[in-house]
């Protein structure tokens, strides 16, 4: 496998995660009553959409093909969030718990990819900023979770 294809494959993994997160956050925004949480989830969805655009741009820059949709695992997670919100009567704490789980999985993937010391500096910098934004979202979600419990 050539170098550019290897990088693009890694970026595609993150791209799919960001598609999943964007859809998950939109789903969460639709299933909460709190205006504050609704706005928070909508902002996270927009942020993840922006991450996806940045990743797509880098993949195209390397002459590779970006993936077009989320993963099966992400679809299952979103469906679980939908089911859980229905069963728990839009329990905001349960929705926040699921959002935290999803973000922690994303954070792990970012950390794993950032261990690769062969990434070009521009990609490394972009991924580092995205990773920090995800960590910040987790911290904020944990604060919200404490407030609604």
Which tokens sit at 84?
């859980």
Which tokens sit at 58?
């880098």
Q: What is the pLDDT of residue 83?
A: 47
Which tokens sit at 74?
């992400």
| pTM of the complete model | 0.84
Token pair 């089911």 in the structure block, residue: 83
User: Is the model's pLDDT at 42 over the cut of 80?
Assistant: yes
User: Is the model's pLDDT at 88 over the cut of 70?
Assistant: no
Which tokens sit at 71?
């993963």
> What's the CA gap between 58 and 94, in Å, rounded?
35
């Amino acid at each position: 496998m050539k170098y550019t294809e290897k990088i693009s494959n890694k970026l595609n993994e993150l791209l799919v995660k960001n598609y999943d997160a964007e859809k998950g956050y939109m789903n969460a925004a639709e299933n909460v009553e709190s205006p504050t949480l609704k706005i928070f989830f909508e902002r996270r969805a927009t942020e993840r959409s922006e991450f996806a655009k940045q990743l797509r741009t880098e993949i195209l820059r390397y002459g590779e093909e970006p993936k077009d949709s989320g993963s099966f695992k992400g679809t299952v997670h979103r469906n679980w969030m939908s089911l859980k919100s229905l069963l728990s009567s839009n329990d905001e704490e349960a929705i926040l718990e699921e959002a935290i789980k999803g973000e922690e999985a994303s954070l792990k993937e970012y950390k794993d990819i950032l261990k690769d010391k062969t990434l070009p500096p521009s990609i490394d910098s972009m991924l580092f900023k995205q990773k920090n934004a995800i960590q910040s979202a987790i911290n904020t979600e944990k604060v919200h979770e404490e407030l609604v419990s």
